[in-house]
Amino acid sequence: MKLHSYKFFIPTRVECGRDISMRTGELLQPFAPGRVLIVTDPGVRRANLLENIESALQAQNLNYEIFDQVEPNPSAETIHKGADFLKDSKCDVVLAVGGGSSIDTAKGIAAMATNPGHILDYEGVGKLQNPPLPLAAIPTTAGTGSEGTNSTVVTNKETLFKTAVLSPYLFPKLAILDPSLTIRLPQEITAATGMDALTHGIESYISKAANPVSQALAIHSIKIIGENLSNAYFVGTDIAGREKMLEAAFMAGAAFAQSRLGNVHAISHTFGGVFNIAHGIANATLLPFVMKFNLPACPEQMKDIAAALGKDVSGLSAMQGAEKAIEAVLEMNQAFKIPNNIKDIGVTLDQLPKLVEDSMRSGNVLVNPRLTAANDIQTIIENAYHGILG
């Protein structure tokens, strides 16, 4: 096996445990905040998930403001509205509370508080000029892992393109993983976000840019999800299982922060931009079709994934074992009532050329294990639309 050089970097401090969000004020003290901006969405606020966090800030005499205008597939306009709100409120620390949309929005707000111009000016890798304001993240779903990544994804409403901004500056300083905040998640959100985390683990593990450390995190996250997502979905109130899912989502995020992702994300981001489809459900529905496409390029790694998901691959060839990984994902989607085609989640083919063009613009295509051309993306989308596992 050829050795290759690599780097692994994650500066995020992680605090994990039941009800640990009740210590938020104490945990923020190292940043010496004068005023905290909480970035969240209306659903989190309606669910009263901020109540204990606000009490924790008050107990430490920390003043705060709340920006609760985060939407799914957050737009550049929302980020700049939040940045203006932050400046008017004279906040100096940003605290994201919510799913990936809230955390990504908070990253954008923190970055634009200290960088000139427009958030879309920073599309790509390493273009932010200045460190953002200190950012802490409290995920309320076990999905995106954005609390452990160096990226934010922003929708350009004019072009309907989801722009990725990547910078080591975008790693949160602190991630607070409290399973108590995920215990009341609706089943469909538990499923979609859990399968999103699984997609991160799988795409990171087979990425051309993977390294031994990222792969160790990725394959372990896959195993944890395989062991715990069903219980989180069908039982829901098992706090230990919910904590495991939060840990798995974080590990998958930390893994892909090093390795990038692949064709699932290249395509699903276009679905979010063009059709405003929720990211997790887009990933989950696409995943089997992209795995089938990638199978010839990485059968050994796919066999590893099958084993991590609980399939017996003993005595099977690499290709036979790899097929078991696709089988496992299809079974999970079926159990969690996730459609077996993208038509049923709102994708149409009337904008197929744009979907292909925008997908090919993603840097994730470059690290996908199988070499991918525009006609391949088109075939994957068409197969997924008709529910045909080629």
Give CA–CA dist 83/40, Å, rounded. Answer: 13
Among 129, 164, 182, which residue terminates a domain?
Answer: 182
Among 154, 182, 210, which residue terminates a domain?
Answer: 182
Q: What is the reported pTM?
A: 0.94
Q: Could you read off the pLDDT of 5-30 as tens digits, one per residue?
A: 888 889 999 999 999 999 999 999 99
The verdict on 199 and 104 lying in the same domain is no
The verdict on 167 and 300 lying in the same domain is no
The verdict on 176 and 312 lying in the same domain is no
Domain that residue 274 falls in: 187-386
Mark residue 91 as left, alpha or beta (left: phi above 0; alpha: psi -120 to 50; beta: remaining): beta
| Residue 280 placed within a domain | yes
The verdict on 168 and 194 lying in the same domain is no
Q: Return the number of other C-beta atoms located less than 10 Å from residue 292's C-beta.
A: 18
Sheet holding 151-156, edge to edge: 124-125, 161-166, 151-156
The verdict on 159 and 221 lying in the same domain is no
The verdict on 158 and 279 lying in the same domain is no
Helices of type H across the chain? 24-28, 42-46, 51-59, 76-89, 100-112, 187-206, 212-234, 239-259, 263-275, 279-294, 299-308, 318-335, 352-361, 364-367, 374-386
| Residue 3 placed within a domain | no
- pLDDT for the residue numbered 1: 42
Q: Could you read off the pLDDT of 193-208 as tens digits, one per residue?
A: 999 999 999 999 999 9
Neighbouring-strand partners of residue 39 = 67, 96
Residues 6+ apart with CB under 8 A from 117: none
| Length reported for the chain | 390
Residues 6+ apart with CB under 8 A from 383: 289, 389, 390
Among 134, 162, 182, which residue terminates a domain?
Answer: 182
| Residue 5 placed within a domain | no
| Residue 2 placed within a domain | no
The verdict on 235 and 257 lying in the same domain is yes
DSSP 30: G
Residues 6+ apart with CB under 8 A from 380: 263, 267, 286, 289, 290, 293
Q: Which residues of the chain have pLDDT under 50?
A: 1-2
Contact 263, 368 (CB under 8 A): yes
The verdict on 227 and 175 lying in the same domain is no
| Residue 285 placed within a domain | yes
The verdict on 284 and 308 lying in the same domain is yes
